Amino acid sequence: MNKEWHRLHPMPPKATREQRVVWHAAHAKACACREVPESLKLDVEKRTKLDRD
């Protein structure tokens, strides 16, 4: 677990779906201490692909 990343990047309170997708995409790159929730997985994968292109 990347404690420093978590400290610097808290999930916004009452995060919107888009904020959650962005957070989980960044989290998957920086830490990945847990799986992306199934409900967001497709959107996170799309976001990650867009960031690479």
pLDDT tens readout for residues 18-45: 999 999 999 998 998 999 999 999 999 9
Q: Is 34 a domain residue?
A: yes
pLDDT for residue 53 = 62
Judge if pTM exceeds 0.75. yes
Q: What is the DSSP letter of 31?
A: T
With H, G, I as helix, E, B as strand and everything else as coil, classify residue 37: coil
Domain count, the chain: 1
Range of the domain at 36: 14-52
Segment 1-13 shows an average pLDDT of: 95
Q: Is 47 a domain residue?
A: yes
Per-residue confidence at 49, pLDDT binned at 50, 70, 90? confident
Q: Is 30 a domain residue?
A: yes
Whether the predicted pLDDT of 50 surpasses 80 = no
List, in sequence order, the alpha helices (H) in the chain: 3-8, 17-30, 38-52
Q: Is 32 a domain residue?
A: yes
Q: Is 9 a domain residue?
A: no
Q: Is 36 a domain residue?
A: yes
With H, G, I as helix, E, B as strand and everything else as coil, classify residue 27: helix
